[in-house]
Structure 1
Amino acid sequence: MFENYAEAVPGARLYTIPDASRFDKLSFLKVWMKALRIMAKERPKAVVTTGSAPMLSFILLGRAMGARTLWVDSIANAERMSSSGRLARKLAHRTVSQWPEVAEKEGVQCWGSIL
């Protein structure tokens, strides 16, 4: 299944992350462990992620490792920032929304959308 994703980024490393839900706290432990392995191996200078709850691990680990962090809240959140985005706003160096109205309401910037 993920082979198709790898074809989209030829020559680049591709990591897959398990899904996690706030309703299943154990799923976040699996994400955290995978994120820890990836971050220790890659040692990024910057972490940029579109908003999903599992990616909060990368924002938190990135900050702990001294990387600059950017959270781009999910385009699916057209009326208000996601709960993960509201948390990321406190953790990431910068948080942006993909909707101008949401950005204005939430006090963040809108840099456009990623489709």
Structure 2
Amino acid sequence: MRRPRRLLAIASSGGHWTQLQRLRPAFSGFDVAFVSMYDSYAETVAPARYYTVPDASRLDLAKFVPVFAKALKIIMKERPRVIVTTGSMPMLAFILLGRLTGAKTLWVDSIANSERMSSSGRMARKLAHRTLSQWPQVAAAEGVECWGAVI
């Protein structure tokens, strides 16, 4: 019997995490591990494997070094075939490393970005296999797909 393919589901805290949790039914059939920022989120996905990464923003790029190091460690341990994220900026490290290790990558831009894609989403558009907006008008303007809204 074949082992289910591994999927890494990642998001920062707050609304990003909530949106990722609403995608969980789509992960059926995968061996899923989750990544976010707070230890307390582990109980919401138990018994799945759960990892934390530090936060980082585009305003302080030095904070990406520990995020990148942790992302590399997680990806080498999990060996995901698929990486799905609802953002934000720190999750770009997983998208980049996922591409380099052969994982298929999907960035779902936050529903909060109803006027234009987030700055992270615009970067992800260049890195991820697929980048989605949850708003049809934003998707059309940004040249990405819209598969509907998560929330």
TM > 0.5: yes
Match for residue 2 of structure 1?
39
| 5+ residue gaps, structure 1 | none
Question: What TM-score does the superposition give when structure 1 sets the normalisation length?
Answer: 0.93
Tell me the amino acid that sits aligned with residue 2 of structure 1.
Answer: D
Aligned partner of residue 81 in structure 1, secondary structure: coil
The runs of at least 4 consecutive aligned structure 1 residues that moved more than 3 Å come to none
Matched, 1:44 2:41: no
Q: CA RMSD in A?
A: 1.2
**CA shift digits 1:3-34 (9 cap, x unpaired):** 3x222112101112211011111111111011
**How many residue pairs align between the two structures?**
114
Match for residue 128 of structure 2?
92
Matched, 1:24 2:60: yes
Tell me the amino acid that sits aligned with residue 50 of structure 1.
Answer: T
Aligned-residue offset at 1:104: 1.2
**CA shift digits 1:65-101 (9 cap, x unpaired):** 0011111111121100111111111111100001111
Sequence identity of aligned pairs in percent?
68
Match of 1:57 among 93, 115, 123: 93
Distance, in Å, in 2 between the alignment partners of 1:114 and 1:7 is 22
Aligned partner of residue 47 in structure 1, secondary structure: strand
Aligned-residue offset at 1:51: 2.2
Question: What TM-score does the superposition give when structure 2 sets the normalisation length?
Answer: 0.72
Distance, in Å, in 2 between the alignment partners of 1:113 and 1:19 is 25
Higher relative contact order (CA 8 A, sep 6+): 2
